[in-house]
Amino acid sequence: MIEFELRRTGMLIVVSAPSGGGKSTILRALLESDESLSYSVSATTRTPRECEDNGKDYHFFAEHAFKSLIDEDAFYEYAEVHGNWYGTLKSEIDAKLASGQDILLDIDVQGSLRLKETMPDCVSIFILPPSIATLEKRLRDRGSDSEEVIQRRLGNARGEVRMADRYDYILINRDLDDTIANMRNIITAQRFRSSRLMLKDAFGRVLVSSPSD
């Protein structure tokens, strides 16, 4: 009897949502319930919020240090968002992917589009709030941003929503549990795409390999 085995390398799952869209809660729930998932901790020049830890939520850098990282080609993508710099460090991604981990990335629209160009088989998901009014309420309830920052984030959100069709999947976050379940379904389906898989027999012989191998 021949026993088959499926193998694959990790995949990138890029998630964008206007800030205040409930994205952090969704990502946290996914990471807590799926040990094959890990999180790409971005670099940023933004000031840490009270609840944030360096190295866990972000790697916080002064602007000159961030610019040095750009010069050293340390990023897969970087962008200026709401007046601060954010970037995906190659060092966050490479080792995890090679070890078969799937990586969740929380990045803005510009960064997502750039990453899709360099890594076309990444999965991109856009999460919409039910309305801009809901978004405004969530930003105000969070209580961590000034009026100016809130207005800037709302303005950006209106622009970002128009880019939603550039993503592989679009979800509207009306109910948190439903959105988390839908994210899990997308991730599960993507894990079984033949293009990501290598099929081996009991002797370790490769019967089918993915185009990226």
Tell me the residue number closest to ligand 5GP, measured at CB: 111
What whole-number distance in Å separates Cα of residue 164 and Cα of residue 166? 5
Q: How far is the CB of 193 from ligand 5GP (least distance, A)?
A: 25
Classified as helix, coil or strand, 138 is helix
What whole-number distance in Å separates Cα of residue 16 and Cα of residue 110? 10
Q: How far is the CB of 147 from ligand 5GP (least distance, A)?
A: 16
- Check residue 123 and report its DSSP letter: E
Other Cβ atoms less than 10 A from the Cβ of 40: the count is: 18
Among residues 142 and 193, whose Cβ is nearest to ligand 5GP? 142
Among residues 42 and 179, whose Cβ is nearest to ligand 5GP? 42
Q: How far is the CB of 110 from ligand 5GP (least distance, A)?
A: 6
Residues that bind ligand 5GP (CB under 6 A): 16, 19, 42, 46, 77, 79, 81-82, 86-88, 106-108, 110-111
Q: How far is CA 184 from CA 7, 48, 190, 193, in A?
A: 20, 30, 10, 15
Among residues 3 and 72, whose Cβ is nearest to ligand 5GP? 72
